[in-house]
Amino acid sequence: MSLQVAALHSSIRERIINSTHIQEIIKMAKWECSVCGYIYDPEKGDSISGIPPDIPFETLPDDWVCPACGADKDSFEKMEE
């Protein structure tokens, strides 16, 4: 019985560790326009183009362009922390 409880506890702990790990993976990166230096911050979105907050750069529509200079997504570079 106590063995089962210990096993349950360790599986709960694993789940917590895993979910923390997943959150690190999906932490959204900022992207910088290599043409004009505009920074797309996924926590803010892009109010000029009607992109709401919490949209990762990767999931922006392919026809999304830099709201500052009109460069396409290919002109953006991921910013490493």
**Residue type present at position 40:** Y
The CA-based dihedral angle spanning residues 29, 30, 31, 37, taken in that order and rounded to the nearest 10 degrees = -160
Residues 37-66 that bind Zn ion (CB under 5 A): 38, 66
Nearer to Zn ion, 31 or 55 (CB): 31
Q: According to CB under 5 A, which one of 36, 39, 48, 79 is a site residue for Zn ion?
A: 36
- What is the sign, positive or negative, of the torsion defined by CA atoms of 60, 67, 45, 20? positive
Least CB distance from residue 67 to Zn ion, whole Å?
A: 8
Q: Which chain residues interact with Zn ion by CB under 5 A?
A: 33, 35-36, 38, 66, 68-69, 71
